[in-house]
Amino acid sequence: MKSATDIAAIRGSPQDVLAWAVEQFHPRLALACSFSLEDVILVHMLQAIRPDMRIFALDTGRLNEETFECAEALRRRYGVKIEWHFPDREDVERLEREQGLFSFRESLEARHACCHIRKVVPLARALTGLQAWITGMRREQSVTRTELRQVEVDVVHGGITKLNPLADWTTDEVWAYTREHKLPYNRLYDSGYASIGCAPCTRAIQAGEHPRAGRWWWENPEHKECGLHVRHTKR
């Protein structure tokens, strides 16, 4: 087992990082897919490395229709099996019954509570038994991701390895790859969306705004994470 220092030193092209991860961790490895541009790119890259790679997604109960359309287009194009994980029914019912349908806009704590039920708990379930997981995170995306590495030790989830193969990529590179390979993508991007999550927490951005400005727009930039990617990783 490599140390945290050795893990953090691993760098290369996204394809090289994915190939290394497959060699090291398959079959206890999976891609967390939210059907962002980045995640679709990773699915495409993995087709050339390990077509049967496990792919999971979180259905929060409040996703946009366009996100589901993208998921289905991806499934049909590559024949991949997408493992959907849902929040606990009783937890969602209790939250909405006691706090209402839009409690997440009342305070940061309330928003974190909603994300915890709809995202964090299902993610923990999806990661059960894994040694490593793959995300489409990039440093350019947010002030909370500027220190992101391609390979990290995820202390929050029991010390498993977390891979961010596209960490170094720019938005221009993401779009160039998407267009070159004619990949399916969420059509909300064509309507001005730059970062897509749950429908009530996501909106289009204006010209010149930061790409993350459309997520939880009522909050400060340093708070714009849902709890899936907490920065407590060893280096």
Catalytic-role residue among 33, 70, 114, 226? 226
* 135: amino acid identity, one letter: T
What pLDDT, on the 0 to 100 scale, is given for residue 45?
98
Per the annotation, the verdict on 114 as an active-site residue is: no
Domain extent listing, the chain: 4-186
CATH domain 4-186 topology: Rossmann fold (3.40.50)
| pLDDT tens digits along 15-35 | 999 999 999 999 999 999 999
Q: Quote the tokens at residue 8.
A: 């953090």
Residue 67: pLDDT band with limits 50, 70, 90: very high
> Which of 166, 164, 134 shows the shortest CA–CA distance to 151?
164
Residues 6+ apart with CB under 8 A from 108: 219, 223
What pLDDT, on the 0 to 100 scale, is given for residue 235?
35
Q: Are strands 29-32 and 54-58 parallel, antiparallel or unpaired?
A: parallel
Sheet arrangement for strand 151-154: 82-85, 54-58, 29-32, 132-134, 160-163, 151-154
What pLDDT, on the 0 to 100 scale, is given for residue 11?
87
Burial pattern 168-189, b for ≥16 Cβ within 10 A else e, equals bbeeeebeebbeeeebbbbebb
- CA 69, distance to chain mean position in Å, is 17
Q: What is the average pLDDT score of the chain?
A: 91
Residue 222: pLDDT band with limits 50, 70, 90: low
Per the model's pLDDT, the better-predicted residue between 235 and 128 turns out to be 128
